[in-house]
Structure 1
Amino acid sequence: MARRLWNPKSWVSLSPNGIGHTKPNHLGEMARVAVNVRRTPKRAWKILNEGVCDGCALGVAGFHDWTLDGIHLCTTRLKLLEVNCAPAFDHSVLSDISWLRNRTGVELREMGRLAYPMRRRRGEKGFARISWDDALDAVGLGIRAAGGDRTAIYLTSRGLTNESYYVAGKAARAMGIANIDSAARTCHAPSTIGLKSTIGVAASTCSLQDVLETDVVVL
């Protein structure tokens, strides 16, 4: 059966910009992001047009995903676009990090992007810039010294894809690390066990579009 492209039953409201509802400021937030990334328009467009969504794992490719029809451009993705397009800040300000303790998370993000590997040794007041070779050598030596049985990798992200987990697992095993886990397992373990024991399939059996257009949802 063909899906209806214009289905009033799935509309939240007729009010413009969601006025009177939970999130009425989407258009305003979109305008603010556009202003904040105006110095890097080509980079911002490439991220949106060719990249994935930092806020979910719906199989986003550019402006579309594999779950819902239409354009995928959520405010979470736009807010993180500001971080991805942020200019590099002067790394010398990290030579003494005592002043950073009073900064909020928003203020720290607004500082800009860290462009170089930085290292802080025990007893030092702050971080000093090091080369990429030195950074990778330090990580490699630390893993080798600890040994594979004493090293673990834990991955967590709202939008990390199965492909990313697969590559990370391969890289970990190449380094001799068998202990790799992710937030996806701990997050979805209860649902997969419940689905497997009740309906025999440990995964979702319907799309979000099915939920929007159905007459009855049983929880």
Structure 2
Amino acid sequence: MSVDKNESIQFQFFGQYLGQSHTLLSIMNQQFPELGLQQKDCIKSSWIETTLYWDNKPKGISLDSLLYRMLNESFPFKVKSDYVITPIPKAVLEELWKKMIKMGMGMIMQWNPYGGRMNHISESETPFPHRSGYKFLIQYWYYTQDDSKVESLRKLYDFMAPHVSQSPREAFLNYRDLDIGTNQNGANSSIFGAKYFKGNFERLVRVKTKVDPDNFFRNEQSIPPLPK
């Protein structure tokens, strides 16, 4: 696509690979030669060190920094998510980039590829059901407190509706999105429950009823117990 000189959009590719960098380079340069991945683009680290990286900690900082939470820091943002099962047409992607450019700085979209070992684990084996058949997870992230920008993110989410999972339109629990429902004020929790857990939701409700019948551990989208 062409981008006007007064507009800007940043594409950043990063990810984690469990193995040696030379193996990764061989795979990536065979499958995605257009990326031109080189050894200098790779960072070797332990799993716990990657936690520091994802938390934007300075390079070389002690692992002890993970023991201290900066509760006084505030990073207002809005997050939504989607699961993609079928390829998204190129024309849709072109329109998506234009919408993101219009939204400006602060808008981030992250795609997490699925597959591999995940395809061999039954969706009912663990509470997390998004296993075989999914191409990737989309995270829509907007750093903002501006209600109008939050609404523009919701419109982008609506635009993607025909190109993601449906009936239900699934979501990732860790990207908490209260737009898809809450269990407060007697609301129907099965709506957001099906999006996060699919067919596992009813089983989780039964477990919750057994181990926490008084609903002591709760939040806006926690698993509710069955009524007494």
Fold match (TM-score > 0.5)? no
In our comparison, the structure showing a higher alpha carbon Rg is 1
Q: Which has the higher strand share?
A: 2
- TM-score, normalization by structure 2: 0.23
- TM-score, normalization by structure 1: 0.24
Q: Which has the higher helix share?
A: 1
